[in-house]
Amino acid sequence: VTVGERIRVVAGAGSADYDVVIGEGLLARVGEFAAAAAPKARAAAVISDSNVAPLYGPQVVAAMEGALGRASLHDFPAGEANKNRERWIALTDALLEEGLGRDTIVVALGGGVTGDLAGFVAATFLRGVPVVQVPTSLVAMIDASVGGKTGVDAPAGKNLVGAFHPPVVVLADPACLATLPRSERSQGLAEAVKHGAILDAEYMAELRERAEDLLSGEPYASRWAVRRSVELKAGVVSRDERESGLREILNFGHTLGHAIEAESRFEIPHGSAVAVGMVLEARIGEAMGVTASGTADRLAEALRAMELPTELPSGMDPDRVLGWTGADKKARGGEVRYVQIAAVGSVHRDRNWARPVAPDLVREVLATGSALS
Amino acid sequence: VTVGERIRVVAGAGSADYDVVIGEGLLARVGEFAAAAAPKARAAAVISDSNVAPLYGPQVVAAMEGALGRASLHDFPAGEANKNRERWIALTDALLEEGLGRDTIVVALGGGVTGDLAGFVAATFLRGVPVVQVPTSLVAMIDASVGGKTGVDAPAGKNLVGAFHPPVVVLADPACLATLPRSERSQGLAEAVKHGAILDAEYMAELRERAEDLLSGEPYASRWAVRRSVELKAGVVSRDERESGLREILNFGHTLGHAIEAESRFEIPHGSAVAVGMVLEARIGEAMGVTASGTADRLAEALRAMELPTELPSGMDPDRVLGWTGADKKARGGEVRYVQIAAVGSVHRDRNWARPVAPDLVREVLATGSALS
């Protein structure tokens, strides 16, 4: 068993800093890492969905039981549709009925939905118990498990209810990625490309070169991308405490991405929607003269290499997509804001990390797929 | 309009410190205090129950609208039975449907139930928005609105789900107390006696002397008790950051109090149950030789002056009460712990602020009402 990397994340807001540990074979060692990160824990509740629980549940429960003496598995039906308050209630009540108390540690074993839902259970159980994030999908390893955001969806929109509740440790075992379907890895790579687009041009170029290895789940390439993406995201999250609002740059591609996702009634998966969103938001930036010309095309090329879409699906109504940006929660309490890149690898900043854009320009770019500048 | 007092509370855990402001006429000035404490807020959601909303809702909404330009009133049926996750969902969705966003401030206008429920709405709305606590009952002014605990009940017990979410400011207007029934003021005074019992013997003696004024809601006496209790509780909460676990002393009387409350199916109100709990827990302490003899009787005298009970109701089964202490959430993750006072005004401390007690001794004190020492 080799533990390859440890990346420190500054949690801020009174929470303890934590490590993201990346390495093959970590699933078997979840117990020792959890016990070290939460020394007061005496019982574990492993929360996992119906896809992941049969694959890794018994191994992780055994590891936690070995370390703490007591562990149980709580599963729920897979899918974003289950990331809701009703499922949160059912999981919380299952833990309470088991008699679990303040000395419990929650282990979130799975993809982004599991991390958000189990994290919110931990955030609110007896006013908060520690959580270990054990991401098993590429997008969860690369993005979702770092930063401390937890929560569930409401009828009015995604992620509208939740809490900041940083994990005590994140354990990413790239060996899990080999069993994923190719299309799931492709989805996760959208966020990796985003990290390159906002922070590291070289990373984006190398992602493109190694696209085939990444899409096929080749272990060295996977581990490399997880490590670099976590480094980049951890850097942003850690600096956010000092540079208030820096974290907002992680929303690049997401203003339109969320709208496209919603307009498709979530038939277009998150990664694909964000891929299209990044290209269109870059085109908006080019039209406004804040983004170097040719940037959107470079981005589109990298995303196509990851087998991701780069244009609005034909037949999707630009006005309806624009309407959804108003419903996007970032719009709550004011104007719709866009993160814009100056070029691949750097975000444009004036007073803020994001700014409003004239709705007419957004509509035009949505309608034509390219800006008239 | 006179603002009498400002007491600073150290929130800890990365949250900003806040003031408890006590003064007549504050309800009309909620807007200016809220705007000063949360300068980014642009809209207010006033949450109140069906008893309090008709009395003070319009005035507080008008004050918030005057300060922020936008305010709405959200009420829910009064009573502890409504402090649950379903009501939390309904209130959250009502705020979302109104289009409220991150620039919202929640105003919790009412007693302890409203403070807990509205506080938890604020803690989880879009991962957390500020809350102003505006307590209108004596127990909420004296106790519940200070400290940042928010949450709701679950079928397995009270306050099992929640979050720490300190308010940005607490505004206590003793003029509200005059309209309360005498029995409600009596309930609130149980926590005031507790503050004296654990921290300030002189305060307890003076409470007893001024009992009639306090029970009738006389303004000067009421304001004096609110101020002194808030000072004492704020001192504990503020020091808890340094003296880890100090806050536990506020649980004096509550281990048995919660059990009595539960065994009565919540027909015995919280203050009455805690009053009995304090006397019985002092008797346990006397039997163990950690509490000065005569302390329980002194406590009982003060509580009787507040028209509160001091003995287990006849017919209540000691074994069943003992059973509920195991179900009490303080027992989760280990033994049942009791805070014990050395004498009126000071808590007994060994290694910890609370310690386990032999169940046989608890049973004996419950059965006889007085210890065989």
The per-residue pLDDT for range B127-167, each reduced to its tens digit, is: 999 999 999 999 999 988 888 999 999 998 889 999 999 99
Residue of B nearest to A164 (CA): B127
**A14 → chain B, closest CA residue:** B14
Per-residue pLDDT band for A1 (boundaries 50, 70, 90) equals very low
Does the beta-carbon distance from B126 to A102 stay under 8 Å?
A: no
CB contact under 8 A, B329 and A161: no
Do B126 and A155 make contact, defined as CB atoms within 8 angstroms?
no
- Test A12 with B12 for CB contact under 8 angstroms: no
What pLDDT is stored for residue B371 in this prediction?
A: 45
Token digits of residue A119: 């994290």
Interface of A with B (CB under 8 A): 12-15, 42-43, 85, 89, 92-93, 96-97, 99-104, 123-128, 149, 151, 154-157, 159-164, 329, 331-334
Q: What is the pTM of this model?
A: 0.92
CB B52 within 8 A of CB B110: yes
C-alpha B43/C-alpha B164 separation (Å) is 23
pLDDT of residue A144: 81
pLDDT: which is higher, B85 or B244: B85
Report residue B36 CA to chain centroid gap: 25
| Chain A: residue whose CA lies nearest to B14 | A14
| Structure confidence at residue A241 (pLDDT) | 67
Asked whether A233 and A7 are in contact (CB, 8 A), the reply is no
Question: What percent of chain A has pLDDT above 90?
Answer: 78
Minimal Cβ distance to B96: which of A42, A102, A156:
A156
Q: What is the spatial distance between Cα A235 and Cα A246, in angstroms, rounded to a whole number?
A: 10
Residue B133 Cα, gap to closest chain A Cα (Å): 19
Q: For the CA atoms of chain B, what is the radius of gyration?
A: 20
Q: Which pLDDT score, from 0 to 100, does residue B372 have?
A: 45
Closest chain B CA to residue A332: B101
What pLDDT band is residue A369 in, cutting at 50, 70 and 90? low
CB contact (8 A) between residue B333 and residue A43:
yes
Structural contact between residues B250 and B233, judged by C-beta atoms closer than 8 angstroms:
yes
Q: How confident is the model at residue A199 (pLDDT cuts 50, 70, 90)?
A: very high
Residues B71/B65, Cβ–Cβ less than 8 Å: yes
Residue A330 has pLDDT above 70, yes or no: no
Using the Cα atoms of residue B287, residue B293, residue B295 and residue B301 in order, give the sign of their dihedral. positive
> Residue holding tokens 């005074």?
B189
* Contact across the interface for A332 and B160, Cβ inside 8 Å: no
Residue B36 reports pLDDT greater than 70: yes
Q: How far apart are CA A27 and CA A50, in angstroms?
A: 18
Q: Is the pLDDT of residue A173 over 90?
A: yes
- Pick the closest to residue A48 from A60, A36, A57, A39 (CA basis): A57
Residue of B nearest to A120 (CA): B124
b/e map A90-112, b = 16+ CB within 10 Å:
ebbbbbbeeebbbbbbbbbbbbb
pLDDT digits (tens, 9 = 90+) for A37-61: 999 999 999 999 999 999 999 999 9
A102 to B156: CB separation less than 8 angstroms, yes or no: no
Distance, in Å, from the CA atom of A100 to the CA atom of A185, rounded to the nearest integer, reads: 36
Chain B contact residues (CB < 8 Å to A): 12-15, 42-43, 85, 89, 92-93, 96-97, 99-104, 123-128, 149, 151, 154-157, 159-164, 329, 331-334
How many A/B residue pairs have CB atoms within 8 Å? 115
What is the per-residue DSSP string for B57-123?
A: HHHHHHHHHHHHS-EEEEEE--SGGG-BHHHHHHHHHHHHHTT--TTEEEEEEESHHHHHHHHHHHH
Model pLDDT for residues A334-360, shown as the tens digit of each residue: 678 899 999 999 999 988 889 889 889
Contact at CB, A163 and B128, closer than 8 angstroms: yes
Please give, rounded to a whole number of angstroms, the shortest distance from the CA of A13 to a CA of chain B.
4
State the smallest CA–CA distance between residue B210 and chain A in angstroms: 37
Residues B347 and B251: beta-carbon distance below 8 Å? no
Q: Which of the residue ranges A116-130, A235-249, B279-293 would you say has the lowest mean pLDDT?
A: A235-249
Residues of B known to be catalytic:
127, 149, 191, 233, 243, 247, 251, 254, 258, 270
Closest Cα of chain B to A103: distance in Å? 5
The confidence score (pLDDT) of residue A68 equals 96
Model confidence band, residue A304 (pLDDT cutoffs 50, 70, 90): very high
